[in-house]
Chain A
């Protein structure tokens, strides 16, 4: 295997694996926007309580 072959192979693997790891970390370990962002009507101010 030539040096150029190693370069192409390792660059391709790092690029693809890096993208996959980045994506899965974001998907699995960060809460979804819908879970940490709230529309005004979702926020209970307690004003409705007697």
Chain B
């Protein structure tokens, strides 16, 4: 019975360890969600569980409920950061999500603490959420996220926190945001209260580039993107991009679909320049566009 006992003790130990940094977050009526003590005095939770900006409270592992203030939120990655003055105990001990493998036994820990176990089901490369948030790694889990578990830690068998679990990024999928992404977003939210996302202010549709046209523009591929909308006074308009222009490359790299454009632009610093290669009435044009900040509320 040794190995089974060993596994059982490891799992129980992992829950105990992680639970020292798990709090209940009271930011919506009825059902508290879970949060992780990420840095001293800082709790990270799932943004979709924060329905109010004031009278936020957090219940500590010792059972005491204390006030919290909202430091910032990023709906694109479903993360929100709270400042909690009265939060005793050490922050979560983190593990490296890059070391996860499909089949690894993992736990989700909810406030209480409560435990749910399972395995890493799928791992993939960086992906973009439907709101344009960049998640460093795709982590899908075969485990149950019980009510109130969103915002809590994904824990490996050692008890290290390798990510945050949430039901808010995709329907019917148990996903985790890797610790590396959480750290990046926490940093941005603590500094400025939001995550600034780059944008061009432009609507695009894929088109096939005629063969004859491809050699005309260096770096062009088989597809380009025709401009069907230009936001007045947006970054593209300011740079002189016109309706009907066909985008073929950004910074010398061919772009054939809107995901490729988002991939270059959304992660770039606001104000940095990107070189846009396009075809206008059959002739090549190159323009430099200063990346602007996506206005709040716009996709």
Q: Do A and B come from one complex?
A: no
